[in-house]
Amino acid sequence: MSKTIKVALAGAGAFGIKHLDGIQHIDGVEVVSLVGRELPKTQEVAAKYGIQHVTTDLADSLALPEVDAVILCTPTQMHASQSLACLNAGKHVQVEIPLADSWADAEEVVHVAQAKGLVAMCGHTRRFNPSHQWVHHKIKAGEFNIQQMDVQTYFFRRTNMNALGQARSWTDHLLWHHAAHTVDLFAYQAGSPIVKANAVQGPIHPALGIAMDMSIQLQAANGAICTLSLSFNNDGPLGTYFRYIGDTGTYLARYDDLYTGKEEQIDVSQVAVSMNGIELQDREFFAAIKEGREPNSSVAQVLPCYKVLHDLEQQLKA
Render each residue's pLDDT in the chain as its tens digit; 318 residues: 559 999 999 999 989 999 999 999 999 999 999 999 999 999 999 999 999 999 999 999 999 999 999 999 999 999 999 999 999 999 999 999 999 999 999 999 999 999 999 999 999 999 999 999 999 999 999 999 999 999 999 988 776 665 556 665 656 789 999 999 999 999 999 999 999 999 999 999 888 888 999 999 999 999 999 999 999 999 888 889 999 999 999 999 988 899 999 999 999 999 999 999 999 999 999 999 999 999 999 999 999 999 999 999 999 998
First to last CA, the chain: 49
The DSSP code for 128 is T
pLDDT of residue 156: 83
pLDDT of residue 165: 63
In Å, how far from its chain's centre is CA 6? 22
d(CA 34, CA 141): 42
Widest CA span of the chain, in angstroms? Answer: 55
Question: Taking Cα atoms as reference points, which of 89, 90, 80, 94 lies closest to residue 117?
Answer: 90
In Å, how far from its chain's centre is CA 14? 14
Question: Taking Cα atoms as reference points, which of 112, 61, 86 lies closest to residue 303?
Answer: 112
pLDDT of residue 163: 55
The DSSP code for 196 is E
Helix (H, G, I), strand (E, B) or coil at 31: strand
Is residue 189 within 8 Å of residue 136, measured between CB atoms?
yes
pLDDT of residue 208: 82
The DSSP code for 110 is H
Instruction: List the Cα angle 162/167/172 in 5-degree steps.
Output: 50
Record the pTM.
Answer: 0.94
